[in-house]
Amino acid sequence: MASHMSTLGDRPATMTLMRKLRNISWMLVVLIAVTAGVGFMMLYSAANGSIDPWVTRQFVRFCIGVALMFFVAFVDIRIWLRLAVPIYALALALLVAVKLMGTVGMGAQRWVDLGIFNLQPSEIMKIALVLGLARYFHAVPPEEIGRLRWLIIPVAMIVAPATLVLLQPDLGTAALLIAGGMMMLFLAGVRLWKFAVVIGGALAAIPFAWAHLRGYQQERILTFLDPERDPLGAGYHILQSKIALGSGGIWGKGFLLGTQNHLNFLPEKQTDFIFTTLAEEFGLLGGLFLLALYAAMLGYGFAIGIRSRSYFARFVGLGVTGTFFLYVFVNVAMVTGLVPVVGVPLPLISYGGTAMVTLLIGFGLLLSVYIHRDVQFPQRPGLEPN
Amino acid sequence: MRRESRHRKVLTRRALFLGGAQVVLLSGLVGRMYYLQVLESDQFKMLADENRINLRLLPPPRGRILDRYGVELANNEQNYRVVLIAEQADSVEETLEALGKLILLPAHERARVVRDVSRRRAFVPVTVAKNLSWEEFARVNVHSPDLPGLQPEIGESRSYPLGVTMAHIVGYVGAVAEEDLNGDPLLELPGFRIGKNGIELRQEDVLRGKAGVSRVEVNAFGRVIRELTRNDGLPGEDVLLTIDAELQEYTRQRLEGESAASVVLDIHTGEVLALASEPGFDPQAFTRGLTNEAWNAIVEDPRKPLMNKAVSGQYPPGSTFKVIVALAGLESGVITRDHRVFCNGEMELGNAKFHCWKRAGHGELHLLQGIEQSCDVYFYDLALRVGVDRIAEMAERFGLGRSSPFGLPGVRSGSIPTRDWKLATYGVPWQQGETLVTGIGQGFVLATPLQLAVMTARLANGGLAVTPKILRQSVEGGGETEPPPSIGVSRGSLSLVLEGMNRVSNSERGTAYRARITSKEFALAGKSGTSQVRRITAAERADRIRKNEELPWAARDHALFVAFAPIAAPRYAVSVIVEHGGSGSGTAAPIARDILLQVQDLDQRRRSRSNGGRLDG
């Protein structure tokens, strides 16, 4: 991995497209394609051995996403630095828009109808938040990070979208936004005791927040704590998911032979619970193979982030990687019954357009960071204009 | 720049820390997967199988009920019905609308279907209409392309081909009630029916059979994907009765219009050939389900159609009981056949007068004449001499006053009083006047038509203790090969009483002479009985005893007759009781005569048909 990344020595202000193509981390692209391939297989199986209704549409989205990924990757990282704040502002505006005129689906307002397709702004916000915070910390003088007043803006940047998403209501995405944001704050060097204060405060607020949760959200948390309390109702998902995983064993039941999957015992088998289909049909080995793919991608992303020169690029690289990790971890932990079912898709595998495209755009940013890893940035542009 | 590089170090350190944390968390996931997929795998494999494999019960076909010649009294009939599978219908309402044009489908039924559909999963069939006629069923079948979601189905339902004729014997089946549940999963099947009365109830275990089991793979919504294994279970066994359906039909028709009961026995085996109770009911209606009005009409009918009067009706036997009193006198040595009594129409005992049915009196009578003319005073006198306890002892030898095991529910024991019984039951000593009343089969004496038929059989078969049987297989009462024990009454006494009964029917002075069988070959001997159900006051007696026809139905006398035939070689015993029917000789005797003629006639016809009597018991 390291040898791959240290081939270029010169630091051009601008690069030709050919150079960028040569410069790209092709290994990462291959890993993305392989993982997406696993996803198509599982969607094929979830549809009882048919490319309809999911594989075809997901493949089209993947192609669009990959095109966007390369586009984003080839755009100079400095342009992304300049666009970071507008992108964040746009994402926030979309969240407000979805609140005001979004489509209601499955009991929550999550989508805006853009005519040709429905957009889920909360997905875009995951990347936009990373960009926005990276832009902010890129500009903050390092010695000022420790001061509380410098934390007001980034905390507000996290809390505002998280609140809007929570109101949709989408507890899972809101939690992921907060977790991702806190990760960025942690990277920026915010003192640990401040996290302790915030976490302590959050714990103290639980009884208050509990009263404000929707019934189904309360139910999901209670059911998470004791899945057997309602095996036919809310606990059904977790229980059936664990049965699918457990009965898969080490070697799995074989491709297209998962009984839990094909007899429809698996809930949401094409979206949030698709990992169980994989683990049922390919067993522990299949699950570990996918986790290994993810780990490899995380490793690449992590190395790309560390390796970058500028703060902005580092924050973007590590932020995208961290967000990606959160998705993988929360989804797998959810379907194995370790955390409550909060509705988080499995990256690159779960059926769903916005998540797939957003994620590929995120990888595009990561690749851009990699391609432009040695680009010189203007020295500390500061927060003030110019 | 120094500060910045320090900051850079912080970032790198924290990035590495985060990376480490991610590795730890991912390892946690791997551990969790190892736990679920390796350590706990067996348990989850079992749960996965439990998920997908369902056991389906296959209800066994219910056994038939057959008469002694194999005529079906209860069988399983194909039942045409239409079910709706909501997921296959474009619109439930439209489909029901279209069906409503083909068959009668009332609005409330339509509403029920819509309600049922909304409560169940879309692939669960909901019954739309049942008990369709063949024409209706065919019409639905022809139009089925226009009725998306509807499926014509053929089910099995219990059918009683002879209807009301067999109602009290065969009984009926009905829905399983809460208290019937005993752990047999069959009983929990929706729509399963079990015996509620008659043979259907008493032979439930034989008729029901054993449930089959089908192991099927189902998906999460319960839809059957395929059958894995199948075990068909055991069909219910047929139950054979001793009843002769043809005779039963005749007997019931002969009683029709009355509130009455009759039992015909084979005197040698105790087999019940006919056992009728009128009015009856339509057992089919119970299988189909009764409306409230129909049910109330049955329950409130003063003639009690649901009651099997042949085994559950307890009546004062009246003068039919005199044969017992006579035997008690003869066997105890208190009297001989020459014992004479002078009847002047009444007998005084203390301050009370006890009247004979013939107000003018019979004059001097000996025993045979006493039986023949059913003189009350003769038997008052005899009862006084013998005493109630010896009468009771003799009655019990003939099966009265106690219930013997019998294959039908609701068998009552009647009652035969003794001194001790009176004291124990009422706390007051026995009165002599009560002995007199007992002597003519009134007062505390009660018997069922079945008991009276058994009594007659034991008289006619020479004093053998036959017990009544209704099951053809020797399920009850041991084997048929062993002859029943003797009841210990001497031949001489018995033939004397039988001669008395012969005179009742065949002597010109006999009470039932008009209801005799003229053909000697088939001639019957019997004993009439007319039992009062009200007290005749002295004032009424002084004025004029009102005739039965002048009284309201419920105040009229019960009419009884017991008889056997043919006299030369007795074979059949019959008892007839017509509630509030007037006089025994006038109302009951002709019915008994016709039944005895019919049974002997059937016998002859069967003999000639089968050329040698293969079918005789």
Bridge partners (DSSP) listed for residue B560: B529, B577
B144 with B276, same domain?
A: no
Q: Exposure string (b/e) for B489-503, b if CB count within 10 Å is 16 or more? A: beeebbebbbbbbbb
CB contact under 8 A, A244 and B15: no
Q: Which residues of B touch A287 (CB under 8 A)?
A: 33, 37
Q: Which residues of A touch B33 (CB under 8 A)?
A: 245, 279, 284, 287-288, 291, 336
Q: Which residues of B touch A337 (CB under 8 A)?
A: 32, 36
User: What does the pLDDT read at residue A6?
Assistant: 40
Residue B50 has pLDDT above 60, yes or no: yes
Residue B227 tokens read as 């059958």
Phi-psi region of B57 (alpha: psi -120 to 50; beta: other; left: phi over 0): beta
User: What does the pLDDT read at residue B615?
Assistant: 46
Q: Rounded to whole angstroms, how far apart are CA atoms B443 and A344? A: 90
Q: Rounded to whole angstroms, how far apart are CA atoms A83 and A77? A: 10
B501 with B605, same domain?
A: yes
CB contact under 8 A, B6 and A142: yes
Residue B346 tokens read as 């009444």
Q: Does A245 touch chain B (CB under 8 A)?
A: yes
What lies within 8 Å, CB to CB, of B473 at 6+ separation is B239, B240
Q: Rounded to whole angstroms, how far apart are CA atoms B261 and B205? A: 28
Q: Does A264 touch chain B (CB under 8 A)?
A: yes
CB B48 within 8 A of CB A259: yes
B561 with B513, same domain?
A: yes
Residue B359 has pLDDT above 70, yes or no: yes
Label residue B481 by pLDDT band (50, 70, 90). Answer: low
Top pLDDT among A245 and A233 is at A245
For residue B224, the domain's CATH number is: 3.90.1310.10
Give domain status of residue B263, yes or no: yes
Residue A223 has pLDDT above 60, yes or no: yes
CB contact under 8 A, A247 and B47: yes
Give domain status of residue A110, yes or no: yes
User: What does the pLDDT read at residue B217?
Assistant: 79
Hey, how many other C-beta atoms are within 10 angstroms of the C-beta on A238? 23
User: What does the pLDDT read at residue A106?
Assistant: 52
A40-64 pLDDT, tens digit per residue, is: 999 999 888 888 889 999 999 999 9
Hey, how many other C-beta atoms are within 10 angstroms of the C-beta on B6? 13
A3-51 pLDDT, tens digit per residue, is: 444 444 444 456 788 888 888 889 999 999 999 999 999 999 988 888 8
List the one residue out of B122, B49, B87 whose CA is nearest residue A265: B49
Domain count, chain A: 1
B397-440 pLDDT, tens digit per residue, is: 999 998 888 989 999 999 999 999 999 999 999 999 999 999 99
User: What does the pLDDT read at residue B444?
Assistant: 93
CB contact under 8 A, B33 and A187: no
Residue A123 has pLDDT above 90, yes or no: no
Q: Does A292 touch chain B (CB under 8 A)?
A: no
User: What does the pLDDT read at residue A226?
Assistant: 64
Which residue is closest to B50 within chain A, CA to CA?
Answer: A243
Give domain status of residue A377, yes or no: no
Peptide bond into B148 cis (omega under 30): no
Provide mean pLDDT across the span B236-244.
93
Which residue is closest to B219 within chain A, CA to CA?
Answer: A263
CB B468 within 8 A of CB B406: yes
CA distances to A197, A256, B2, B374 from A185, in Å = 14, 44, 22, 119
Residue B291 has pLDDT above 70, yes or no: yes
Say what the pTM is: 0.64
User: What does the pLDDT read at residue A8?
Assistant: 43
CA distances to A150, A278, B490, B613 from A153, in Å = 7, 42, 123, 113
| pLDDT > 90 in chain A, percent | 41
User: What does the pLDDT read at residue B533?
Assistant: 82
B153 with B175, same domain?
A: no
Residue B395 has pLDDT above 50, yes or no: yes
User: What does the pLDDT read at residue A231?
Assistant: 56
B528 with B390, same domain?
A: yes
Q: Which residues span the domain enclosing A148?
A: 15-371
B501-536 pLDDT, tens digit per residue, is: 999 999 999 999 999 999 989 999 999 999 888 777
Q: Does A306 touch chain B (CB under 8 A)?
A: yes
- Please, where are the H alpha helices in B162-317? 167-170, 198-202, 204-208, 245-255, 283-288, 292-300, 309-312
Give domain status of residue A123, yes or no: yes
Label residue A263 by pLDDT band (50, 70, 90). Answer: confident
B215-226 pLDDT, tens digit per residue, is: 877 776 666 777
Residue whose token pair is 């006619």: B460
B301-321 pLDDT, tens digit per residue, is: 888 999 999 999 999 999 999
For residue B575, the domain's CATH number is: 3.40.710.10
User: What does the pLDDT read at residue A1?
Assistant: 38
A and B: number of Cβ contacts within 8 A:
128
**For chain A, percent helix, then strand, then coil, each to nearest 5?**
70, 5, 30
B141 with B59, same domain?
A: no
Q: Rounded to whole angstroms, how far apart are CA atoms B338 and B348? A: 23
B538 with B451, same domain?
A: yes
Return the SS3 of B270. Answer: coil
CB contact under 8 A, A142 and B4: yes
CA dihedral B569, B471, B591, B545 (to 10 degrees): 110
Domain count, chain B: 3
Classify the C-alpha dihedral A42-A46-A47-A49 as positive or negative. Answer: positive
| pLDDT > 90 in chain B, percent | 52
Across A90-99, A376-385, B252-261, which has the greatest mean pLDDT?
B252-261
B497 with B468, same domain?
A: yes
B473 with B515, same domain?
A: yes
Shortest CB distance from B14 goes to which of A186, A245, A250? A186
Mean pLDDT over all residues of chain A?
Answer: 83
Give domain status of residue A4, yes or no: no
Provide mean pLDDT across the span A298-324.
91
What lies within 8 Å, CB to CB, of B116 at 6+ separation is B126
Give domain status of residue B8, yes or no: no
A168-197 pLDDT, tens digit per residue, is: 777 788 889 999 999 999 988 888 888 888
B120 with B200, same domain?
A: no
User: What does the pLDDT read at residue B1?
Assistant: 46
B262, B277, B319, B585: which is the annotated catalytic residue? B319
| pLDDT > 70 in chain B, percent | 95
Q: Exposure string (b/e) for A257-275, b if CB count within 10 Å is 16 or more? A: ebbbbbbebbbbbbbbbbb
Residue A139 has pLDDT above 70, yes or no: yes
Which residue is closest to A306 within chain B, CA to CA?
Answer: B12
Q: Rounded to whole angstroms, how far apart are CA atoms B241 and B264? A: 14
List the one residue out of B485, B462, B494 whose CA is nearest residue B571: B462
User: What does the pLDDT read at residue A7?
Assistant: 40
Give domain status of residue A381, yes or no: no
Residue B155 has pLDDT above 80, yes or no: no
Residue whose token pair is 């040569």: A22
Weakest-pLDDT range from A372-386, B244-258, B317-331, B550-564: A372-386
User: What does the pLDDT read at residue A105?
Assistant: 55
Residue A119 has pLDDT above 90, yes or no: no
Residue B477 tokens read as 């009462």
Return the SS3 of A119. Answer: strand
Q: Does A377 touch chain B (CB under 8 A)?
A: no
CB A366 within 8 A of CB A72: no
Any catalytic annotation for residue B319? yes
Q: Rounded to whole angstroms, how far apart are CA atoms A250 and A288? A: 10
Shortest CB distance from B22 goes to which of A242, A259, A325? A325
Q: Rounded to whole angstroms, how far apart are CA atoms B194 and B505? A: 46
Mean pLDDT over all residues of chain B?
Answer: 87
Give domain status of residue A360, yes or no: yes
User: What does the pLDDT read at residue A264?
Assistant: 74
Which residue is closest to B19 within chain A, CA to CA?
Answer: A302
CB contact under 8 A, A283 and B37: yes
Angle in degrees, CA B318, B319, B322, rounded to 5:
120
Give domain status of residue A35, yes or no: yes
B440-469 pLDDT, tens digit per residue, is: 999 999 999 999 999 999 999 999 999 999
Residue A97 has pLDDT above 80, yes or no: yes
CA distances to A285, A337, B43, B49, B226 from B46, in Å = 21, 19, 5, 5, 19
Q: Which residues span the domain enclosing B592?
A: 245-292+307-610
Provide mean pLDDT across the span A232-255.
80
Top pLDDT among B119 and B452 is at B452
User: What does the pLDDT read at residue B430?
Assistant: 93
Q: Which residues of A touch B1 (CB under 8 A)?
A: none
Q: Which helix (H) or strand (E) holds B193?
A: strand B193-195
CB contact under 8 A, A243 and B22: no
Residue B475 has pLDDT above 70, yes or no: no
Mutate which of A247, A309, A330 to disrupt the B interface (most B C-beta within 10 Å)?
A247
Give domain status of residue B233, yes or no: yes
Label residue A379 by pLDDT band (50, 70, 90). Answer: low
Weakest-pLDDT range from A245-249, B268-272, B305-309: A245-249
Of the three residues B208, B226, B241, the one that is the final residue of a domain is B241
Interface of A with B in 20-79 (CB under 8 A): none
B592 with B513, same domain?
A: yes
B64 with B212, same domain?
A: yes
User: What does the pLDDT read at residue A382?
Assistant: 45
